[in-house]
Amino acid sequence: MISIVDRFRLPRRLCAALALLCAALSAPPALATIYDAELSAQLLHGEDLCAVAPCRDVLPAAQQFSKRKGAPSYVDGYVVEGGKTRLVGYVFLSTDVVDIPAYSGKPVVTLIGMDTHGVISGVRVLKHSEPILLAGIPESALLKFIQQYVGKAADAKLVIGRGQEEEGAIGLDAISGATVTAIAENQVISRSAYEIGRQVGIIKSTPRPPARFSPVRETLDWAAMLKEGSVQRLLIPAAAAGAADTSRPYMDLYFGYLNTPALGLSLLGEHGYRRLMDELQPDEHAIFIVANGQESFKGSGFVRGGIYDRVQVRQDPVTFTFRDTDYQNLYHLQPADVPGFKESAIFIVRSANFNPAWPWQLTVLANKADRQSGTRTFVHFDQEFWLPARYLEGGRPQVQRHEAPWKAIWANQKPQIALFVAVLGFAAFWYARRDALVRRSTRKSKPWISVPRHLLWLASVGFLGFYLKAQPSITQVMTWFHSLINQWKWELFLSDPFIFLFWWFIIITVLVWGRGVFCGWLCPFGSLQQLALSAGKWLGLKRFQKLLPKAVHDKLRWLKYVIFLVLLGVSFYSMEAAETLAEIEPFKTTFLVGVWNRTWPFWLFIGGILGWSFFSERPYCKYICPLGAGLAIPGKFRLFGLKRKAECQTCHACASGCGSHAIDAAGKIDQMECMACLDCMVLYYDDHACPPLVKERKTREKAGLPLTDIDAGGYFISLDSVRRTLSEKNAQLAPRPAPQE
């Protein structure tokens, strides 16, 4: 079999050096103790949590701990005084309370302590899979972040970032370069502490008046109930649950609340509804479920006397499970347009704590197989149900919902977002006017292009890169691939507004113009290389600035595509390994983490790239960058490319000056490699530089003929065309003979 090295004829010494560099860069940080904790079954589900978890680290005042108790579970912490025990606080594991995925798609498993006054006494991260923390950001940054929670009240409004103090919020510093991780961990800690505080009585919940149903007696069909939301659907794709068969859903459920007269009568009919209501006791609520799919919502391990482990009802912190006595057969639904289903049931919620006037969720638990490790973990899928207002006397109650964290981030950074969008808009506007700009330029004078590009490079490095840390990366491309395959969550990508907006800009411009607008005009690290080249010219190094020979370039340019495919392939085996190998990108070290926080291999790598950039144009972009390779592939199908003439097939004037080596011997521009510098377009219209135009200009000047404008095709407008146009205009202006009487 022909190897990749042989296929692309890459020098073996270069590949060996690349492998050595990746090994050096992928070396784990010296301190990584909290990253690699093993999560045993005893820690996750065992009765004695503190026998395997460092509970005293998060509740230092305690000397003894109880067994797990409550739902969600926690442990009591006691101090011994005079032979008697006194309760001093509580310890709980975040995954017992909430299941909030971070950037990796997996939760940050956190142990939290809280005293009897509801004040957080300690936080300890036991396990995480965050790529940005596994490779790059030191452990001290995470420790510093979670230390901010010590001394904060469990019911405090804790937000990432400053600026909301006037609204009663407590601003917390994020982890530099890992904003999404910080947001997720903030939710994990604050919500876990709040829920346990409510359960143990430290935080008092607001009383909820009982639901009173309106006297609506309308009979509805299935479509009408779906439209108004009185029947909800929960569709679980096979990939999201880790099922091998992706041709049909893992589970496709419809559910609703039956106690409401109008809905109960519409779904069960008069006889069925009356019989059900006669059987229900006060504070009992009936919920129906019908479903199709690969798996049963009733679960496969159910036994008499046990519980149904697949479906639950959740309302605020309380979770309601169902036993065999809470199950009733459902043989038929009344509406004629009910879709076919293979299983059905009625479940009874027996609790005074459940209030149907407030929103609640149906939760489905799935035993998901991890494709990377083969291990199985429980994941849950939720769908909210809230009775339409017309079925409740007085309508729906006022419910205070937690604002999505990403919304607060966008609101707090409006000026920066506006300026960021202005920079992107300026780049797109200027490039869209490229035809007019290059016509105003010549090979020796092109300020209409060089000045805006240098301004954009400076803004990209300083504002986009170092200030906003908005450097797109191949890791985001890999995350998108996995989100599309597994479970797409917009909240994950909306958590960083600058990266989110930048990627939309990239997607649109790549499909319209190719990769050159981003790579050549706005990429922070690409701009840094370009500024290094300009600095080299200013320092008098222009005579030493050379490109690699075209033959060598044509072989080396394939290296970035190999790196891109390797990273993407490794990510399907292990996202963590792919993230470590993605250190081939210097972006994280340069803009997110800071060179001063890295070790010597990173300094050497970045120093080598920037040093080379003083003498050659964008070496990293041309030969190594996997992000550029990933953008070049869809850019091949762009709508608009740069212009060419028939003479370009034999003329090499543009090719000799192309800093990207993107013009081949036949004069064709390789849009996958083009950085959109527009130098070739300047020559396209320059009658003192473009050989066909030079020849035509000299011919006319020698014959004493006028020089006409240059048309969009890059040629002087023909004199015959001008004469014909003038004749037509003269004919139109000539006086017409008077009509004869």
- Segment 638-676, tens digit of pLDDT: 888 888 888 888 888 888 888 888 998 888 888 889 999
SS3 state at 711: coil
Confidence of residue 371 (pLDDT cuts 50, 70, 90): low
Q: Residue 314: is its pLDDT beyond 60?
A: yes
Confidence of residue 33 (pLDDT cuts 50, 70, 90): very low
Alpha-helical runs (H) found in 87-138: 131-134
Confidence of residue 452 (pLDDT cuts 50, 70, 90): very high
Token couple for 60: 């230092």
Measured distance CA(139)–CA(152) in Å, rounded:
22
pLDDT for the residue numbered 198: 86
Measured distance CA(177)–CA(215) in Å, rounded:
56
The residue among 42 and 76 whose pLDDT is bigger is 76
Whether 383 and 336 have beta carbons less than 8 Å apart is answered as no
- CA dist list (Å): 36 to 39, 129, 133, 143, 292: 9, 9, 12, 15, 40
Measured distance CA(127)–CA(124) in Å, rounded:
9
Q: Residue 177: is its pLDDT beyond 80?
A: no
Q: How large is the average pLDDT for residues 623-645?
A: 90
pLDDT for the residue numbered 615: 95
Q: Residue 307: is its pLDDT beyond 80?
A: no
pLDDT for the residue numbered 317: 57
pLDDT for the residue numbered 6: 41
When mean pLDDT is compared over 205-214, 294-303, 701-710, the highest value belongs to 701-710
Q: What is the enclosing helix (H) or strand (E) of 77? A: strand 75-81
Residues in contact with 430: Cβ distance below 8 Å, sequence separation at least 6, in sequence order: 437, 452, 456
Q: How large is the average pLDDT for residues 75-83?
A: 91
> Model pTM?
0.65
pLDDT for the residue numbered 475: 87
pLDDT for the residue numbered 45: 83
The residue among 319 and 88 whose pLDDT is bigger is 88
Q: How large is the average pLDDT for residues 421-434?
A: 95
Q: How large is the average pLDDT for residues 41-58?
A: 89
Mean pLDDT of the chain: 84
pLDDT > 70 fraction of the chain, expressed in percent and rounded: 85
Q: Residue 299: is its pLDDT beyond 60?
A: yes
pLDDT for the residue numbered 22: 46
SS3 state at 381: strand
From 364-378, 543-557, 623-637, the region with the lowest mean pLDDT: 364-378
pLDDT in tens, 325-347: 889 999 899 999 999 999 999 99
Q: How large is the average pLDDT for residues 686-698?
A: 91
Longest CA–CA separation in the chain, Å? 133
Secondary structure (H, E, C), 538-597: HCCCHHHCCCCCHHHHHHHCCHHHHHHHHHHHHHHHCHHHHHHHHHHCCHHHHHHHCHHH
pLDDT in tens, 388-398: 999 999 899 98
Confidence of residue 21 (pLDDT cuts 50, 70, 90): very low
pLDDT for the residue numbered 286: 96
Confidence of residue 493 (pLDDT cuts 50, 70, 90): confident
Q: Residue 364: is its pLDDT beyond 70?
A: yes
Residues in contact with 123: Cβ distance below 8 Å, sequence separation at least 6, in sequence order: 58, 110, 111, 112, 113, 146, 147, 149, 150, 189
SS3 state at 169: strand
Q: What is the enclosing helix (H) or strand (E) of 109? A: strand 109-115
Whether 59 and 154 have beta carbons less than 8 Å apart is answered as no
pLDDT > 90 fraction of the chain, expressed in percent and rounded: 46
CB atoms within 10 A of CB 483: 15
